[in-house]
Structure 1
Amino acid sequence: MTRCNSLFPAGVAVTLLFALALQGQTNRGTPAVSVRDFGAVGDGKSDDSGAFQRAIDSGCGDILVPRGRYRFDKTVVAELDRVGPLSIAGAGTATIIMAVPGPALKLVGTHGGTASPTTVKDNVRLNQRMPIISGLEIVGAAPEACGIEATGTMKATFSKLLIRKALHGIHLTKRNRNVIISDCHIYENRGIGVYLDHVDLHQINVGNSHISYNDGGGVVQRGGAVRNLQIGNCDIESNMGQEAPPTGNVLIDATGGSIGEIAVTGCTIQHNHGAPDSANIRIIGESQPRPSYAQGELRGGNVTITGNILSDVQTNIHLHKVRGVTVVGNTLWKGYTNDILVEGSSSIVVGQNVLERNPRYHYGDGATAKRGVIFRDCDNVNLTGLHIASVQGQEAGLLLERCRRFNISGCTILDCDNCGILMDDVEDTVIS
């Protein structure tokens, strides 16, 4: 028999447990329940999806998931307006095995407003706010099995999760507001780690997480209307399969939708240069037209990229048809094709960044990385304090093609095997 040793005398432990249970009843009206109270077995073989569904449908709200391996043969759905405020929580010792296609857990809300309190209906405020999923491992055991999907939610919070061997990790669809993803490991999935899938979403924080080895990309937005995306203090690595379509560790693609107000700060973002057209940060900003006040401007933006470590991909930072971007305080190396590639963009500020070639990283084919900074078809750009060293196999350390209205000052460009700065068809530009 396995024993769990306690630091408390028996009488104290009983008193403490009673106090905690009483606190649960006093604060919430209903004590927390375990999925085992609803018939979950946790042996990794029995289908426990029904037990989880019954626990959620009970309306208890506080659903505890003790140690065990819980097999799901169907998606467990939380209809938030019906079941009320919800927390599904483990202590890191429970595993959900998703054995069929679809998400293991799906949160469904009805929020149709914005983040403004005046648009939050009473039923959302009372029944649906801040659904929490935490402290669980979710493992995909079918090719199309996913981790978690959320749609129509307000303040959904995901923390202390390990999601692996699924298709997508956390999948946000249709419409959500004020999402928090923190302290998670989203690892070794066949698709995308955090997927903003044609979603109308304002206010999302992705922080303090490891998002790695997901073949379809790390944090990926495709289409939709996304604002206020903050990615911070994360390790985001090798989120591109060797045979997958081109993607990125961070990929923001506004095609068919719109983007704006994005910050990528304080992250280590790197690998894998062997994947086709791989990028650490790739932003495709061309968006759907807006009303006449936009004066025909299609490029989204207002992006900050700062304080990151970026290496070992084909292109470290790729900006395509973006307007309003600040890139400052980053360290970049081993961009095998480019360190920075900017195309068709405007109002770009690239400040003090280090673009280095350290021979300590010349293991394997590391010495063959070309690197360099390229601007094509851009205007209204300020380059200040860049340190560019040892660009090889490029026409120049800094290349400008078909550009205008650049201000280049205080840059250090050293030891490139061709020229330092090359300008072709460039107008109204100052170098000092």
Structure 2
Amino acid sequence: MTLPAQLPSIEVKTMFPSGKRFVFTGISCAILLVGLQAAGSVMGWAAEKEEAWIDPATKYRPDAGIQSFHVQRDGRTDTTKALQGMIDAGIGSIILPRGNYRITEPLVVDLDKVGCTSITGDGTARIVMAGPGPAIKFIGTHEGSADPKTVKPNVWHKQRMPLVEGIEIVGTHEEADGIEAVKTMQLTISRVVIRHVRHAVHLVERNRNVVISACHFYENRGVGVYLDDVNLHQINITGSHISYNAGGGVVSKGGNTRNIQISGCDLEQNVQNVLIDSGGTKYGTAEVAVTGCTLQHSGGPNSANVRFIGAKPEGERCWGLVTIANNILSDVETNVDIQKARDVIVTGNTISSGYKYNLRVEDSSNVVIGPNVLGRNAPYRDEDTCENGVLLRNCDDGTISGLHVHEVLRAGAGIILDKCRRIHVSGCTVLDCDNAAILLNEVEGCRVADNLLAHKNASGDKWQKIEVVGGKDNVIEP
């Protein structure tokens, strides 16, 4: 034992009544310390290095990190096997520090085998998918619904809430995807960036209670969030930017889907920013809300901001329970497009720059169109490109009230009802639209009354408040 050059003095007061004190200085202090250390060793007092606890189930420490699995993050090394080994070890918490993690095959998270798993970072980690398929694929076994009675114990014990948070996924392969999930319960994706892949989030077969929040799905070849013929009830997509995805922003096709909630998002330049298509499927999609979003841009052929198709397999109108409320929509061929649907409400929106239509509803029933502003905004200078039409064609049993329509150009009228039945139009303001304010063509049992219809440059026969062509059993009052 090496002693320091100078040793402190130690004064010890005895516990006897006399209170006698002993002072140890110099070498006597050293002898005292050595003696105490020796006694401690004999009595088992000496501090030893704590051994890290090893989880007997995984054979790893619970805080095992990428170093334990030799995961490289230089962006050049193929680290697929190392990361897959880390997942398969069952440690659960896959934490990715700053770096570029290049993989060439999907990282498969078989939840029933490896248990509850999260793949997380602090925003500085990037997974580069250099092969085909999803960068991350979650596989569960949930066959039930969202009803707790249908969820088996192993799902709660091993599979609940697979989580991806705080990372970026970038594809360098033409067939690379971002995240795919099948038969999961409570998949949660938060603060994730996915770029240059095919589909950013791809949900297939069956999933329940999905949450996507505060994400950026940007410049992908396919769809931002793709519900691909999936049996899925309850998905919340909130506070996210979903833009420049060539196949669409949020797309649901086929399947059996309920409770799609899209709120507080920015969806831009996706050709079809939101597309819900039940065509050709038995169970369809219903209970959809698009609220508080900004949806705009692309303007190409067949583009739409919100398009809902509620047809059953025979092609007849069927599915609905749709709310489109309090959004800003602009700069596409058709801003809101409702086809073969029922039980739909469109209210509280600001809608402009529809190249053909601001609102089109066809072959639908029980559609309510409440107060919305539909028209053009002068600073955008879209007079030569946008007609901004409002059309209901072959619809039954609807209500239009409090609608503000202005400057519909090159169309038959500001509001057109074509071959509709039992539509009630009241309390609307229709201003400065070409040809007529309202056009009724072969409508039956409709009521049009108590509207303000005007044109600041109206003269002679060039403009009419209400133009009526054919039809029967209608009540028409300006």
The TM-score normalised by the length of structure 2 is: 0.80
Query: Does the Cα contact within 8 Å between 1:33 and 1:64 map onto a contact in 2?
Result: no
> Pick from 419, 433, 442: which aligns with 1:425?
442
1:278-427 correspondence runs (5 A): 278-288=303-313, 298-362=317-381, 367-427=384-444
* 1:209-288 → structure 2 map (5 Å cutoff): 209-240=240-271, 248-257=272-281, 258-273=284-299, 275-288=300-313
Aligned to 1:18: none
Tell which has more relative contact order, 1 or 2 (C-alpha 8 A, sep 6+): 1
Separation in 2, partners of 1:83, 1:366 = 59
Matches within 5 A, 1:108-147: 108-147=139-178
Contact 1:359 1:367 in 2 (8 A): no
Could you say which residue in structure 2 is the equivalent of 1:175? 206
4+ aligned runs moved over 2 Å, structure 1: 29-37, 365-368
Is the contact made by 1:342 and 1:374 (CA closer than 8 Å) also made in structure 2? Answer: yes
Runs of 5+ consecutive residues of structure 1 not aligned to the other structure: 1-20, 241-247, 290-295
State the distance in 2 between where 1:123 and 1:32 align.
24
Classify the secondary structure of the residue corresponding to 1:52: helix
Q: 1:174 deviation in Å? A: 0.3
Q: How many residues align?
A: 391
Q: Distance in 2 between matches of 1:345 and 1:209?
A: 31
Contact persistence 2:358–2:375 (CA under 8 A): no
The answer (yes or no) to whether the contact 2:311–2:341 under 8 Å persists in 1 is yes
Match of 2:128 in 1: 97
Paired residues of 2:357 and 2:387 also in contact (CA < 8 A): yes
SS at match of 1:118: helix
1: CA distance, partners of 2:263 / 2:201: 17
Check conservation: 2:302, 2:333, Cα contact below 8 A: yes
Take 2:61 and 2:213, find their aligned partners in 1: how far apart are those partners? 28
Q: Which amino acid aligns with 2:392?
A: F
Q: What is the distance in 2 between the residues matched to 1:141 and 1:348?
A: 45
Offset of 1:136 from its aligned partner?
A: 0.6
CA contact (8 A) 2:317 2:363 kept: no
Q: Which runs of 5+ in 2 are unaligned?
A: 1-51, 450-478
SS at match of 1:213: strand
TM-score (norm 1): 0.88
Cα deviation digits, residues 178-228 of structure 1 (max 9, x gap): 000000000000110000000000000000000000000000001101100
Structure 1: which amino acid aligns with 2:286?
A: G
Report the Cα distance in structure 1 between the residues aligned to 2:63 and 2:420, rounded to whole angstroms: 63
RMSD (Å), alpha carbons: 1.6
The answer (yes or no) to whether the contact 2:316–2:340 under 8 Å persists in 1 is: no
Deviation at residue 255 of structure 1 after TM alignment: 1.6
C-alpha distance in 2 between matches for 1:377 and 1:385: 22
Q: Over residues 58-95 of structure 1, what are the superposed CA-to-partner deviations in whole Å (9 max), with x where a residue is unaligned? A: 11111100000011111110000010011110110000
2:153, 2:120 → 1: CA distance? 26
- Structure having the higher Rg: 2
Q: Aligned to 2:371, what secondary structure does the other structure show?
A: coil
CA distance in 2, matches of 1:205, 1:113: 19
Deviations 1:120-173 (A, max 9, x none): 001111110000011110001011101000000000000000000000100000
For 2:295, the aligned partner's letter is I
Secondary structure of residue in 2 paired with 1:205 = strand
Shift of the alpha carbon at 1:119? 0.1
CA distance in 2, matches of 1:37, 1:331: 55
Structure 2: distance between partners of 1:216 and 1:83: 34
Corresponding residue SS for 2:443:
strand
Measured at CA, do residues 211 and 341 of structure 1 come closer, stay the same or move farther in structure 2, by a change above 3 Å?
Answer: same
Partner Cα separation in structure 2 for residue 297 and residue 119 of structure 1: 32
- Deviation of residue 366 (structure 1)? 5.5
Matches of 2:102 and 2:187 in 1, distance apart?
A: 24
Greater alpha carbon shift after TM alignment, 79-88 vs 280-289: 280-289
Aligned-residue identity in percent: 52
